[in-house]
Structure 1
Amino acid sequence: MRKRLVPAMAVAALAAFTAGAHADVIIGVGAPITGPNAAFGAQILRGAQQAVDDINAAGGVNGEKLKIAVGDDVSDPKQGISVANKFIADGVKFVVGHYNSGVSIPVSEVLAENGVLEISPASTNPRYTERGLWNTFRMCGRDDQQGIVAGAYLTEHFKDAKIAVVHDKTPYGQGVADETKKALNGAGVHEVMYEGINPGDVDFSVLIAKMKDAGVTVVYYGGLHTEAGLILRQLADQGLKATMMSDDGTVSTEISSIAGDAIDGFTFTFPPDPRNREAAKGAVETFRKAGFEPEAYTLYSYASVQVIAEAAKAANSLDPATVAEEIKKHGIFKTVLGDRSFNEKGDTTNPDYVVYRWKKGEDGKYNYNQLP
């Protein structure tokens, strides 16, 4: 019998396939690692990395180890697309990210076309999961849920106040502001001002002058912590004694360093603090021992990796489409956030928002606490 000779190219291809079969499973983390929202990027990256470390220490997923690839989107949609294309070129099949809805929405379309599953820890605009894409999931709630809670709080406590609704013109900021406005209007409360600012603005004197002319006593702001902190400080500096409320995009202790003493009394919406959950106890201790406080979206990012890993194990597959189907049909996932499950759209079935307020503690430092 004649022996068949295998061409050198075929041998090389076989070797590459064999090596690839045992390659790491790369999870892309897309977030603002630099720029004004880097505090949130740090939360998302640290959460995902710790989850990967813990899962690998327990044996990995389906015999494979997980590995993180980082993409810095700088909260910019165009940069987010560049990150997505780099992930695709590098063989990433799962993405934890992005932070901004305005980034997650266009990025998810690129990822869907290229077979990549995405779980966002933080993007709350409803459109992210309302387009019927197979690959979009979120660990957090939605603006139309958060806006109801904010609107109800303002209606209960400030029904007769002169309210200004301000937003940063982004899908996230304007989205949550509009949902809060809708809730207010539905309860018979109508704002005296509705204004937009631009992300990156630093001087709000014209806006505040308009507020003074309108007699504003309450400000609702839809946007992120940097601009919120500056508005708070400038309200105080310009002598307008107005109560300010905002959203989950302001949940960073950095805002107090921006706002200074004006942070006192500032309120915002966010889910019940995940750091207090029994399921998160071990992870929280690990973060704190490493000198990192896992506030806001840190544990949401950790849970996103947990869901990917558990769904892959249950499906006995690392194919993103198969994992996506498993996430939707799986039922309850045990995560650091507690029990989590997902509907056909990819939204969590466990959304919950409450109100927090900043105040000075007995130690003279400002911090935020959930209101009863």
Structure 2
Amino acid sequence: MKQYLLALLLAAAGVAGAQEDTIRIGVIGPFSGQSSVDMGESIKGGARVFAEEANQLSMLLGKKIVLVEKDDQAKPDVGVARSKELIEQEKVVAVVGFANYGVLAQAAPLFQNARIPLIVSASAGGDITRQQKLAPGTPNYIFRLVGRDALQTRAMFKDLVDRHKYKKIAILHDTSPYGEAGRQNALDDLKQRQMNPVAVEAFKVGDTDMSEQLARAQQAGAEAIAMYGLAAEGAMVMKSLARMNWKVPVVATWTASQRSFLELGGSAVEGTRMAVTYIENELGGVSHEFSRNYQRINNTRFIPSGVAAAQTYDALRLLYMALTLCNCSKSEELQKALERIDQPSQSTVIARFNHPFSATNHEAITAEMVVMGEIRKGKIVYAYKDEEQAAQAARRAR
């Protein structure tokens, strides 16, 4: 028995020693689960690109960066359990990830109460960085680097109304919290423009035929459709349109940029436009380099969700800058350092972040960072030349 207890103590000491020699960062998302796995795999994949690059450069504070990956399965109860593991057992200094707002909303308070910085890198819903009811002077530990829903909607209707002058727009959304929030964002945007949708139609997660909803929108005279839903159901909307032979412009959120949308929709999704923060670039630069590294490190031919991967990578790059700035590996000091980043980021993919966070604003993505992508010949490309040229100019300025 004494030998057994001694072995346990030595093992525990070994683990503690290993943890002292590392900076442990949590990475959490839906690595399994039918509806969100594209995002989850890309969160994990983008994080692995960062970890390899960071550890090849040099050891930060004399320590190696170690990613601690947790699968929330897109389920709130599982997400809460995995979050507690990161906090209580894994002793991480910070966390990135989350793709589903329903999971995030329940897990975020755990990190706030534990005083561990969380940078949300894929969940676009809600006002999560302001959601916590904090006493005056209490530090906010919830950050986000995501093209959030309100910014996506702004880009979508800038495209539909300002650029293309459509006046009769139908809103199509799923009945998940994500879809319902999108519907409300669309209604709010149209109201500000003193416009009303000609139709508002809903479908359930798991539905495969949306012909009835689309027929009502067509009968109402819709000239274009604003779509809010997960990738799989979005693809079913496009296939329903193809069966109806109704060629109507469809503008969607970033979920339409995911690999499952392209694969499930096939030729039916051609021409779909979507609001995104990242588009793979084959012509060189940081975007192309990131894409190549992602494919090599993760042993794949494509990124399931380029947006989720790039946002996670950039979130970790900013976290690295904060670690360097404070020369620390303590969570509370790291929170302050994230708010104090005031040097332009050089290695980020989405944009060159100058002052991404402050004490009063924990949202790193701004409206000008959201662009319109379009599916052409089965690939996501820039929908408009002016946005592509602006992105290229920004890359050349680095």
TM-score (norm 1): 0.86
Aligned to 1:80, the other structure's residue is in SS state helix
Q: Work out the CA distance in 1 between the residues paired with 2:145 and 2:130.
A: 15
Q: Work out the CA distance in 1 between the residues paired with 2:163 and 2:366.
A: 26
List gaps (5 residues or longer) in structure 2.
1-5, 135-139, 386-398
- Cα distance change of structure 1 residues 160 and 150 upon mapping to structure 2, 3 Å threshold: closer
Q: Which residue of 2 aligns with 1:317?
A: 328
- The answer to whether the aligner puts 1:347 opposite 2:358 as a matched pair is no
Structure 1, residues 243-286: CA drift from partner, whole Å, max 9, x if none?
A: 21101122123312211221122111112536578344543332
Q: Work out the CA distance in 1 between the residues paired with 2:144 and 2:150.
A: 14
Give the Å deviation of 1:228.
0.7
- The answer to whether the aligner puts 1:26 opposite 2:24 as a matched pair is yes
- Cα distance change of structure 1 residues 138 and 160 upon mapping to structure 2, 3 Å threshold: closer
Q: How does 1:132-281 map to 2 (within 5 A)?
A: 132=132, 134-156=140-162, 159-271=165-277, 273=279, 275=281, 278-281=285-288
Contact 2:145–2:365 under 8 Å retained in 1: no
Contact 2:29–2:99 under 8 Å retained in 1: yes
List gaps (5 residues or longer) in structure 1.
1-7
Q: Work out the CA distance in 1 between the residues paired with 2:273 and 2:19.
A: 51
Q: Which residue of 2 aligns with 1:67?
A: 66
- Cα distance change of structure 1 residues 212 and 279 upon mapping to structure 2, 3 Å threshold: closer
- Cα distance change of structure 1 residues 272 and 67 upon mapping to structure 2, 3 Å threshold: closer
- Cα distance change of structure 1 residues 12 and 150 upon mapping to structure 2, 3 Å threshold: same
- Cα distance change of structure 1 residues 151 and 359 upon mapping to structure 2, 3 Å threshold: same
Give the Å deviation of 1:126.
4.3
Q: Work out the CA distance in 1 between the residues paired with 2:264 and 2:11.
A: 56
Q: Work out the CA distance in 1 between the residues paired with 2:203 and 2:342.
A: 42
Contact 1:263–1:359 under 8 Å retained in 2: no
Aligned to 2:352, the other structure's residue is in SS state strand
Q: Work out the CA distance in 1 between the residues paired with 2:72 and 2:288.
A: 31
Structure 1, residues 135-181: CA drift from partner, whole Å, max 9, x if none?
A: 11112232222221211211135545532212223443333342233
Aligned to 1:216, the other structure's residue is in SS state coil
Give the Å deviation of 1:124.
2.1
Q: Work out the CA distance in 2 between the residues paired with 1:21 and 1:156.
A: 54
Q: Work out the CA distance in 2 between the residues paired with 1:213 and 1:70.
A: 49
Q: Which residue of 1 aligns with 2:101?
A: 101
Q: How does 1:87-98 map to 2 (within 5 A)?
A: 87-88=86-87, 89-98=89-98
- Cα distance change of structure 1 residues 264 and 292 upon mapping to structure 2, 3 Å threshold: closer
Q: Percent identity?
A: 20
Give the Å deviation of 1:129.
1.1
Moved over 4 A (4+): 11-18, 157-161, 274-277
Paired AA for residue 101 in structure 1: Y
- Cα distance change of structure 1 residues 277 and 331 upon mapping to structure 2, 3 Å threshold: farther
Give the Å deviation of 1:17.
9.3
Q: Work out the CA distance in 2 between the residues paired with 1:213 and 1:350.
A: 37
Q: Work out the CA distance in 1 between the residues paired with 2:316 and 2:310.
A: 10
- Cα distance change of structure 1 residues 349 and 269 upon mapping to structure 2, 3 Å threshold: closer
Q: Which residue of 2 aligns with 1:328?
A: 339
Aligned to 2:206, the other structure's residue is in SS state coil
Q: Which residue of 2 aligns with 1:5?
A: none
More displaced 10-residue stretch of structure 1: 336-345 or 221-230: 336-345
Q: Work out the CA distance in 2 between the residues paired with 1:105 and 1:335.
A: 30
Contact 2:167–2:223 under 8 Å retained in 1: yes
Match of 1:283 among 287, 290, 293: 290
Q: Work out the CA distance in 2 between the residues paired with 1:219 and 1:228.
A: 12
Paired AA for residue 116 in structure 1: I
Aligned to 1:334, the other structure's residue is in SS state coil
Q: Work out the CA distance in 2 between the residues paired with 1:198 and 1:192.
A: 21
Q: Work out the CA distance in 1 between the residues paired with 2:326 and 2:125.
A: 29
Task: Give RMSD over aligned pairs.
Answer: 2.8
